[in-house]
Amino acid sequence: MEFKYIQVVWLTLVGGLAAYAVVAYLLLTLGDVGMGAVPLDVMPYIAAGAIAMMLGGLGLKRRLLSAIPNSVQAEKRLEQYFAATTVGLALVEGAGLILITLSIVADAPTWTLVGGGAAIGTLIIGRPRREEAGLRPGR
C-alpha cells in the first residue's frame, strides 16, 4: 500500500462535498427547489450538531491513530492509518452532507455554503500527513 492512495480518498471526499454544496446552492438560488420544511431558526442548532460531528470525526481519527502500536511494521501501520483516516474523515463528510441536505429542505442557500465550507475546512485540517502515518518523506 502506498500513501498516495489515502490522498486520493481524501481528495475524493473533498471534491464530492464541494460539488454537492455547489449544486445545492445553485438549485436553491436559481430554481424553486427548497421545501421550507425545516424552519430557518433551527438551522443554527443543526449546524452546531453537524460541527460537533465534524470535530468528533477528527477526534475519532486521532484516537484510532494513537491506538496503533509503534512496534508495528511500516506496511501494517500504513494500512491501519488508512482505515483510521478514512473512518474519521468520512464522518466529517457525512456531517457536511447532512447540513447541506437540511439546508435544501429549509430553503436556505447560505447554509449550503456554511455546511460545505465547514466540512471542507475540517477535511483540510484533518488531511492525511506522512509524518502522522509514521512515514519518511517520499514513501
pLDDT in tens, 99-135: 998 888 888 889 999 999 999 999 999 999 988 888 7
Q: What is the pTM of this model?
A: 0.84
pLDDT in tens, 62-105: 999 999 998 999 889 999 999 999 999 999 999 999 999 888 88
Q: Could you give the CA distance from residue 90 to residue 85 in angstroms, rounded to a whole number?
A: 8
CA distances from 73 to 28, 61, 77, 131, 135 (A): 50, 20, 6, 15, 11
pLDDT in tens, 4-60: 889 999 999 999 999 999 988 888 887 766 677 788 899 999 999 999 999 999 999
